Structure 1
Amino acid sequence: MKKVMHLLAAATMMFSCNQTPKQIQDNAATTDHADRKQEASQTAKTFNIADIPVSTADLGDFPFFTLPEGLKEQNKPLQKKFDICFFPMNGTMTPVEGRLYKTNVTAKPGEEFSQRFFEKSMEDYLTSVGAVKTYDGEITNEEYDRYNKQDPNKGGEGDIGYTGEQIKFYVIRSKDKGNIYVQFSANNAAGKLNVLQEELFQQTIKKVTADDIAKDLTEKGKSILYINFNLDKSTISADGKSVVDEIAEALKKNSALNIAIEGHTDNTGEASHNKRLSNDRANAVLNALTTNGIDKSRLSEKGFGAERPLVANDSEDNKAKNRRVELVKIN
């Protein structure tokens, strides 16, 4: 038996000696990669939010902690009051909704980025406030292909969750702040960080009523409405007509109320086209009101195109706010 063992050991040594340094390095890297994937898989299987101890640490305000000294946000971070982020739960990139912060991390001028410093700083701080590491590994090609098109922020600022990317994922069950999910990754050049405070969706859409319109006109002198029209046309959509009905009801309740109907657009497209479109839409609202029994002498209309934005036209959300109809009280 000893003779057989010696022969096997000798064969192993001969094989190793016949390998080039690069082959030895590649074999070691392959073994290390497989070990890390196995470790990640074993870690992922243990994840259950109910098993995370509740932390009583004072976490402060969202996003709850600063970057390590000498590091900064590379660009303007992605910050949303309510959005979705995918985290590697049970080995699967799983969506969680809530308040979201995502950023790329780089060194400040005059400093050098250290992967170890970034990771060690994050790990030690998170552990100190009661966070529990629930994943430390990579996702598979199959998993990336499965989920990536579901992520509305894929490819954006601070995006984490690519094949071959080492993801460290922590969870905090805070007594005061609820469930907080933190994931980060890094290489020798830079890092990425995601923080999400889990929150339930709160519906904010409500029906515009005649009383709301009348109150705005009385107290503010104007009422800002979002009446839906067919795309790039002045035809009022079905749900837009319900808003016009409420305007008519408000005017019927107060026969002394006269209004100017003003149409507004965002700055997309040619200014002359936007001006004409906004005027046509204001006129469409006026005609709908007269059809609804409102005397035309109480109404006037005008389109302003993109000349009077409510907010800067620097995002799709802001552009949507600028595409509006305003009712202005005429004394």
Structure 2
Amino acid sequence: MNTSRLLVAVAACVSLAACATTSYVDGKIAASEQRQTALIYEQNTQIAGLEKRFTEVLERAIDKLAGVAGEPKLTKVSQSFTVQYAVNATSVPAPVKAQIAEIAATLLASDKPFFIEIQGHTDTTGSARNNERVGAKRAEAVRQAFRANGVPLRSMSAISFGSSQPLVDETSEEDRQTNRRVEILIMQ
């Protein structure tokens, strides 16, 4: 019997020796979680640094390529012109065609890149749909006048704002006349 008691006692000692206390296990888990959290933080910091450097390099590359790939970096409106129109008129008046020829010749003779934005506007009379159409026809007519004078289509855009961007509130026919226009914005 002594042998069996001795075996039971040895088995109990071995079993108890393999057991750890809850606080010991919790301490080990907490330490492991702290190391893991620190590693994650360090990796996130490294990733953020790499993203920042990548963005800076990309922005520098874009700035260097501006103008090289046919997309000049145009930062401001250097000139603007306004052409007034009669009610529902969409063709470019003859005196304006002469001015467009002069502007085109000046731009084409310059070494500076340029872009022309042509904005068609109307007064508030008529439907929104009709005003959008009339504004588009006005802008396109001016764009074609520039094209006829050698300005490439890639250097221009024509857009209609219809009656959505009036210069003045319309309380008289004179006010409506002011709002019937094409604005020519030259960016360099």
CA drift of 1:220 comes to 5.2
| Corresponding pairs, count | 114
2:98 aligned to 242, 245, 250, which one?
A: 242
1:279 correspondence with 2:152: no
1:304 correspondence with 2:161: yes
Distance 2:79 2:124 in 1: 22
Q: Is the 8 A contact 2:167 2:179 kept in 1?
A: yes
User: In the superposition, relative to structure 1, how do residues 328 and 303 fare at CA in structure 2: closer, same or farther (>3 Å)?
Assistant: same
CA drift of 1:222 comes to 5.2
Q: Counterpart of 2:168 in 1: which secondary structure? A: coil
User: In the superposition, relative to structure 1, how do residues 222 and 321 fare at CA in structure 2: closer, same or farther (>3 Å)?
Assistant: farther
Distance 1:287 1:310 in 2: 25
Question: 1:79-228 maps to which residues of 2 (within 5 A)?
Answer: 221=78, 223-228=80-85
Distance 1:242 1:308 in 2: 27
Q: Is the 8 A contact 2:85 2:180 kept in 1?
A: no
Report the residue type matching 2:125 in the other structure.
T
User: In the superposition, relative to structure 1, how do residues 330 and 280 fare at CA in structure 2: closer, same or farther (>3 Å)?
Assistant: same
Q: After TM superposition, which residue ranges in structure 1, 4 or more long, deviate above 6 angstroms?
A: none
1:266 aligned to 117, 123, 146, which one?
A: 123
TM-score by length of structure 1 reads 0.31
Distance 2:169 2:76 in 1: 26
Counterpart of 1:290? Answer: 147
Q: Determine which structure has greater relative contact order: mean sequence separation of CA pairs < 8 Å that are 6+ residues apart, divided by chain length.
A: 2
Cα shift readout 1:215-274 (whole Å, capped 9, x = no counterpart): xxx975551312557x52422232232232233234224341111111111111111101
TM-score by length of structure 2 reads 0.52
User: In the superposition, relative to structure 1, how do residues 253 and 321 fare at CA in structure 2: closer, same or farther (>3 Å)?
Assistant: farther
User: In the superposition, relative to structure 1, how do residues 222 and 272 fare at CA in structure 2: closer, same or farther (>3 Å)?
Assistant: farther
1:317 correspondence with 2:158: no
User: In the superposition, relative to structure 1, how do residues 293 and 272 fare at CA in structure 2: closer, same or farther (>3 Å)?
Assistant: same
Q: Counterpart of 1:303 in 2: which secondary structure? A: strand
| Higher gyration radius (CA) | 2
Report the residue type matching 1:251 in the other structure.
L
User: In the superposition, relative to structure 1, how do residues 283 and 322 fare at CA in structure 2: closer, same or farther (>3 Å)?
Assistant: same
Percentage identity across aligned positions?
Answer: 35
Gaps of 5+ in 1: 1-217
Q: Is the 8 A contact 2:105 2:149 kept in 1?
A: no
User: In the superposition, relative to structure 1, how do residues 236 and 219 fare at CA in structure 2: closer, same or farther (>3 Å)?
Assistant: same
Query: Which structure's residues are more often helix, by fraction?
Result: 2
Gaps of 5+ in 2: 1-74
Q: Counterpart of 1:275 in 2: which secondary structure? A: helix
